[in-house]
Amino acid sequence: MHIVVCIKQVPDSAQIRVHPVTNTIMRQGVPTIINPYDLFALEEAMRLRDKVGGEVTVLTMGPPSAEDSLRKALTFGADRAVLLTDRFFAGADTLATSYALAAAVRKISNTYAPVDVVFTGKQTIDGDTAQVGPGVCKRLNFLQLTYVSKIVSIDLEGRTIEVERRSEGGVQVLRSALPCLITMLEGTNEVRRGSMQNALNAARATVVKWSAQDAGVEDITKCGLRGSPTVVKRVFAPTPRAEKAALVDPAGRPPADALIEEIFKLRPKLEADMFELARGY
Amino acid sequence: MIEERFDAIVVGAGMSGNAAALTLAKRGLKVLQIERGEYAGSKNVQGAILYADMLEKLVPNFREDAPLERHLVEQRFWIMDNKSHTGLHYRSEDFNEERPNRYTIIRSQFDRWFSSKVREAGAIVLCETTVTELVKDAYGKVIGVITDRQDGEVHADVVVLAEGVNGLLGTRADLRERPKPDNVALAVKEMHFLPRETIEARFNIKGDEGVVIEAAGTISAGMTGMGFVYANKESVSLGIGCLVSDFQKTGETPYDLLERFKNHPSVAPLLEGSEVKEYAAHLIPEGGYNAIPNLYGDGWVVVGDAAQLNNAMHREGSNLAMTSGRLAAEAIFQVKSRRDPMTKENLELYKKMLDDSFVIKDLKKYKDMPALLHTQSQNFFLTYPQLVSKALQNFVRVDGTPKKEKEKTTLKQWVAARSWTGLFGDAFRFARAWR
Amino acid sequence: MAEPTKTPTPAPASRAAAKKELPEHFKAYKHVWVFIEMERGHVHPVSWELMGSGRKLADKLGVDLAAVLIGGPGEALNAAVAESFCYGADLAYVCADPVLTDYRNEPYSRALTDMVNTYKPEILLLGASTLGRDLAGAVATTLLTGLTADCTELEVDSDGSLAATRPTFGGSLLCTIYTLNFRPQMATVRPRVMPMPERVEKPIARVIEHKLDMTESDIITKILAFVPDRDKATSNLAFADVVVAGGLGLGSLENYQLVKHLASVLGAEYGCSRPLVQKGWVSADRQIGQTGKTIRPKLYIAAGISGAIQHRVGVDGSDLIVAINTDKNAPIFDFAHLAIVTDAIRLLPALTEAFRKRLSAHTRDRIAS
Ligand SMILES: Cc1cc2nc3c(=O)[nH]c(=O)nc-3n(C[C@H](O)[C@H](O)[C@H](O)COP(=O)(O)OP(=O)(O)OC[C@H]3O[C@@H](n4cnc5c(N)ncnc54)[C@H](O)[C@@H]3O)c2cc1C
Ligand SMILES: Cc1cc2nc3c(=O)[nH]c(=O)nc-3n(C[C@H](O)[C@H](O)[C@H](O)COP(=O)(O)OP(=O)(O)OC[C@H]3O[C@@H](n4cnc5c(N)ncnc54)[C@H](O)[C@@H]3O)c2cc1C
Ligand SMILES: Nc1ncnc2c1ncn2[C@@H]1O[C@H](COP(=O)(O)O)[C@@H](O)[C@H]1O
């Protein structure tokens, strides 16, 4: 079985700073990481491969430096890595991204082996839209299984798959068919470290690099900025709240009592509400 | 265990490890470099000043693509008391040369670049992998390493220990002792981000020009130590370090020292309005020549900070690291080309090459300095800075006191503080240690 | 959406400025739609929140606000249709069919895509819930239109375009995004970000029924079972009136119990910062922040939480934020309303006791009066 996992290299958002004066992003030295959500997808894909056999191809669209992330995925134990990189892809929104990724999945299917399942993360930590997965899926005309928490079984002969999918109020158990696209829920597994041999292989592997043309993208105007119906008009920093928190000064009272008094002084109506709440338990 | 054998395994991808791996790979050896950090440089802390000469020997055209911050045109030495600094500043247009001699760098970026050169040269670089143990054969010869990965044992003809100051592996394998508290300094460092224009205005520089401030005095609270301020493109690196044994003795915390240094009236205006990004602590080997451990043995050599090769007086470390790494690699290559085994006798070549280089010569020159500064730290880092400051203030303040009287007062202060014998003794001891 | 790669580049601004005339075939697209999300008979509150925002947009544009309902025929659907008018709908589009009883992507995206193509709305809003995101991505791609996900603010600008503002770079920045030259302009909005509008009793007005052109045999994915969440409280964090949360400052799982105790005395929900989830001390559905839940309680008590931006974006909508932290320079003091600089491990038990007394004293007072 052939599985493609879409991963994205993202800036470690914990380390991004906004310039205090100019309100622009200070990118100097901000490290990049594999989008943490994609690791759950990658691990689930490798577990599936280990169970039923086959191979895992990792795919990313990004700048040449995104090769680092792919290599890391190989270290974890993926079998092949494809980097989709081309200046035509720059500035893509979800629609344009899914167009390019779908083209690449088709090309991967034709070049190596027919793709049975595409995995993506639930969402990215920079784009944060959770839309690229469904987008890629629609373009490939695969069956869409989002927020999957567990792969119950897969039947390669019968071309069916059974999964558990998180929905707002519970878990749906679904039976669907291959080929499908799965967006994997976070916290479902922990990505493996990869053995010494995996690491050595990864260090030596060549990452396949495709331009738009290589990937068989038919219509370049559907890629990148040009292919993106959405446009970022303005980027700005949130207005900081003017006043800092008021510090509670116990002034001789026990600190807990002082805090409670200040709370109810600021929000007099709260006490009645809290009484109701507290009584409920 | 991995079947495949390597000619050499380099532990660590810092300055010394990269220099060694690069040289070995360029010479056509089959090299495996292992780094525990997420990427080369991810765990490394340094001021940092890069000395171009030693890098040029490894990557001649590094200026084309290395991530360099600023080239230095000005050096300031400051002797500080709590309210003042006495400075010696040297600035020269000569430093605006085509191939500048010193640069500020940010280690995490620089090491990553350096590591890419190692990869390009053909070495296999494995990150996020920690070497946990050296493998020895029945005769005690080092034949490989064990890592924290599954099936993680790998063998090679020789292991280059470039693991940095802690040198746990070497210690664990009984190749050397643990560094002693009075041989290592603990340095803490912060990066302060400021707009480029602000930095240039505050340090009186333009373009890619840079400034270094090295500071000593009461900022180290009587302990043997130094502070530094380096101007990068959009940030200022600043830090302070003191001997670990002094911290133990005084109960001072590095963080408090750094806070005081930052708030010193001579330093604070340079940082005003900055955003602090990064706080890091790291050890620096400062034992000097007398603390250098065994540098080689059967199947192994040790380079860089792990070998205590650090010139604390001149705040040079990375250049000694690069040079020792390169020389170790050259020695290994020579042994290898003669098809000789990597025995202790054959690897002695490395020691010889190092002895002939500036590395050992410089360290030898200052061999008594660590002991002197350590035993006399109260005088050198508290008493004298205060005396200097008082003397200069007395000298420049115009208040109607006759000059003769001023000079007398100053002299009295010095003698009262240290006595005549003390003064002469200190001067003599310092001069001798410097020689 | 906004691919972050593109946010910092100055180029898009110029492209936005060069806004072209809307293609002719899109000019017929009118009115604001809100997708009313139903799962197992319940309307997700985010849908009513969106009706509030949708109403404002529609009024500004001078167009209708329509509720769009998709589901299995029956009481629950009818009730939701009626309810949508109470939350401000001018009309409702309803697609009812037994195959739509439980949410599945195939029939739902078909239904919504067909409705859009038939009735042509200019703006389509959905909740950024699991259902809404599953549906929105599929629909936007099929329609080949733009989609701005996870918005925190929706506006209509002077020429009638939807200006959707959303956090980017982990909440350190906001960006405003337009969908130029394509219709409908789609956006999803996270639950609890928009205020809940007031419900006003209103009769059912115009209802337009749409027929699904799909039968069960056309649908490949089958639902084998549905396991509702047993621990109802887990999903309640986002809607709780009082939330107590703990962070790394508590130091241990044991100390985290102090947060739970306080919460139980208050009848509150408990939550945490991300590291506690990563340490495995607390389950993931209790995480508050960018990658966790957004909360809007009347009172939020944060103990031993530094207030990183990713945490902050999840709690900014709280009415009163109280921070307990030993570090007077902790970033949380920049956005908390009330703060006490002290050891939470010592304060929490005292606070629990004091609240217990206070809230029962309150009982006494009430009985007395
Ligand atoms: C605050 C500070 C300021 C300094 N300023 C300067 C300066 O301005 N100029 C200058 O020249 N020098 C300076 N130095 C000294 C300089 O940083 C060091 O001398 C130099 O980095 C030494 O290089 P190295 O390769 O020996 O060790 P390191 O750079 O420390 O590299 C060791 C590497 O080995 C890795 N490692 C360790 N153990 C293992 C293991 N078991 N398995 C795998 N990998 C392992 C580490 O992760 C690390 O990457 C400064 C030092 C400090 C702390
Ligand atoms: C992509 C991404 C997404 C993220 N999403 C989220 C998210 O959704 N939610 C989230 O919370 N975080 C998130 N984070 C993590 C976030 O950046 C912070 O790391 C995290 O919020 C810090 O948690 P903390 O405040 O508990 O810990 P710390 O930052 O370690 O703070 C602990 C605090 O406790 C204080 N303290 C210590 N001891 C005591 C004591 N005895 N009494 C009182 N106070 C004490 C300290 O002064 C300190 O302020 C995300 C990060 C990334 C990169
Ligand atoms: N540039 C990209 N390259 C590869 N995969 C991507 C890319 N962008 C998004 N994805 C995948 O789509 C998922 C959802 O992304 P997003 O819609 O940005 O939240 C991610 O978790 C990735 O698996």
Q: What is the pLDDT of residues B230-239, one digit of tens each?
A: 999 999 999 9
More confident residue, A14 or A258: A258
Please tell me the least confidently modeled range out of B205-214, C105-114, C283-292, C341-350.
C283-292
Closest ligand 3 atom, CA of C5?
1
Helix (H, G, I), strand (E, B) or coil at A8: coil
Question: What residue type is C33 in one-letter code?
Answer: W
pLDDT at A241: 66
pLDDT at A30: 74
DSSP classification of residue A239 = P
pLDDT at B270: 95
**Pair of tokens at residue B145:** 């390493």
Assess A240–C contact: CB distance below 8 Å, yes or no: yes
pLDDT at C144: 92
The answer on pLDDT for B44 being more than 80 is no
The answer on pLDDT for C150 being more than 50 is yes
Report the alpha-carbon distance of residue B281 to residue B166 in Å, rounded.
13
Q: How many CB atoms lie within 10 A of CB B240?
A: 28
Q: In this complex, does chain A touch chain C, defined as having at least 3 beta-carbon pairs under 8 Å apart?
A: yes
**Pair of tokens at residue C237:** 């964090």
Report the alpha-carbon distance of residue C298 to residue C296 in Å, rounded.
7
CA angle B282, B259, B187 (to 5 degrees): 15
Question: Are C57 and C92 a contacting pair, CB within 8 Å?
Answer: no
- In chain A, residues with a C-beta closer than 8 Å to the C-beta of C5 are 62, 90-92, 126
Report the alpha-carbon distance of residue A70 to residue C197 in Å, rounded.
47
Burial of A246 (0-12, 13-18, 19+ CB in 10 A): middle
pLDDT at A240: 66
Question: Are A153 and A161 a contacting pair, CB within 8 Å?
Answer: yes
Question: Are C120 and C68 a contacting pair, CB within 8 Å?
Answer: no
pLDDT at A20: 58
C299-303 vs C269-272, strand pairing mode: unpaired
**For residue A1, what are the contacts with CB-CB under 8 A and spacing of at least 6?**
A48, A49, A52, A53, A54, A55, A116, A117, A154, A156
Which H or E run includes B350? helix B344-355
Question: Are A227 and C14 a contacting pair, CB within 8 Å?
Answer: no
Helix (H, G, I), strand (E, B) or coil at B242: strand
DSSP classification of residue A256 = H
The answer on pLDDT for C290 being more than 90 is no
Longest dimension (CA), chain A: 77
3-state secondary structure chain A: CEEEEECCEEECHHHCEECCCCCCEECCCCCEEECHHHHHHHHHHHHHHHHHCCEEEEEEECCHHHHHHHHHHHHHCCCEEEEECCHHHCCCCHHHHHHHHHHHHHHHHHHCCCCCEEEEECCCCCCCCCCHHHHHHHHHCCEEEEEEEEEEEEECCCCEEEEEEEECCEEEEEEEECCEEEEECCCCCCCCCCCHHHHHHHHHCCCEEECCCCCCCCCHHHCCCCCCCEEEEEEECCCCCCCCCEECCCCCCCHHHHHHHHHHHHCCCHHHHHHHHHHCC
> Where does ligand 3 bind, in terms of residues with CB under 6 Å?
A 6-8, 35, 37-38, 59-62, 94, 97, 101, 120-121, 123-124, 127-133
| Residue A172 main-chain phi, psi, to 5 deg | -90, 135
Tell me whether residues C147 and A230 touch, CB distance under 8 A. yes
- Asked if omega into A179 is within 30° of 0 (cis), the reply is yes
Pocket test for ligand 2, best of C281, C300, C325 (most atoms within 8 A of CB): C325
- Asked if omega into B48 is within 30° of 0 (cis), the reply is yes
Tell me whether residues C350 and A255 touch, CB distance under 8 A. yes
Report the alpha-carbon distance of residue C366 to residue B141 in Å, rounded.
84
List, for residues C222-275, the tens digit of each pLDDT value.
999 998 876 544 557 877 889 999 999 999 999 999 999 999 999 999 999 999
Report the alpha-carbon distance of residue B171 to residue B176 in Å, rounded.
5
The answer on pLDDT for C13 being more than 50 is no
* Ligand 3: centre distance to CA A129 (Å): 9
List, for residues A55-84, the tens digit of each pLDDT value.
999 999 999 999 999 999 999 999 999 999
Alpha helices per DSSP H over B128-181: 168-172
**For residue A266, what are the contacts with CB-CB under 8 A and spacing of at least 6?**
C320, C337, C338
Report the alpha-carbon distance of residue B144 to residue B2 in Å, rounded.
11
List, for residues B374-412, the tens digit of each pLDDT value.
888 888 888 898 898 899 998 898 988 998 999 999 999
The answer on pLDDT for C363 being more than 80 is no
Q: In this complex, does chain C touch chain B, defined as having at least 3 beta-carbon pairs under 8 Å apart?
A: no
Give the model's confidence band at A242: pLDDT under 50 very low, under 70 low, under 90 confident, else very high.
Answer: low
Backbone conformation region of residue A243, classed left if phi is above 0, alpha if psi is from -120 to 50, else beta: beta
Q: Which ligand is closest in space to the CA of residue A82?
A: 3
pLDDT at C12: 39
A51, B82, B225, B252 from B265: Cα distances, Å: 66, 8, 19, 21
Nearest to A167 among C103, C220, C242 (CB): C103
Residue of the nearest CA to atom 11 in ligand 2? C273
Distance of CA C277 to the CA centre of its chain: 21
Nearest to A200 among B38, B124, B153 (CB): B124
The answer on pLDDT for B266 being more than 70 is yes
List, for residues B76-94, the tens digit of each pLDDT value.
999 999 999 999 999 999 9
B184-193 vs B275-285, strand pairing mode: antiparallel
The answer on pLDDT for C285 being more than 70 is yes
- % of chain C with per-residue pLDDT over 70: 90
Assess B57–A contact: CB distance below 8 Å, yes or no: no
Residue range B6-67+103-178+291-365, CATH number: 3.50.50.60
Tell me whether residues A19 and B154 touch, CB distance under 8 A. no
Sign of CA dihedral B216, B219, B221, B227: negative
Distance of CA A112 to the CA centre of its chain: 25
Question: Are B11 and B145 a contacting pair, CB within 8 Å?
Answer: yes
Looking at the DSSP bridge assignments, the partners of residue B211 are: B74
- Asked if omega into C45 is within 30° of 0 (cis), the reply is no
Q: How many CA atoms lie within 13 A of B163 on its CB side?
A: 24
Give the model's confidence band at C8: pLDDT under 50 very low, under 70 low, under 90 confident, else very high.
Answer: very low
Give the model's confidence band at C369: pLDDT under 50 very low, under 70 low, under 90 confident, else very high.
Answer: low
A27, B242, B323, B331, B432 from B290: Cα distances, Å: 44, 19, 19, 23, 16
Burial code (b: 16+ CB inside 10 Å, e: under 16) for A82-96 equals: bbbbbebbbbbbbbb
Q: Which ligand is closest in space to the CA of residue A100?
A: 3
A17-18 vs A25-26, strand pairing mode: antiparallel
CA-wise closest residue to C186 among C118, C135, C130: C135
Q: Write down the domain spans for chain B.
A: 6-67+103-178+291-365, 182-285, 369-434
Class of B182-285 per CATH?
alpha beta
Burial of C85 (0-12, 13-18, 19+ CB in 10 A): buried
Question: Are C104 and C221 a contacting pair, CB within 8 Å?
Answer: yes
Report the alpha-carbon distance of residue C253 to residue C232 in Å, rounded.
23
Helix (H, G, I), strand (E, B) or coil at A86: coil
**For residue C319, what are the contacts with CB-CB under 8 A and spacing of at least 6?**
A267, C296, C297, C298, C299
* Ligand 2: centre distance to CA C309 (Å): 9
Query: Of how many residues is chain B composed?
Result: 435
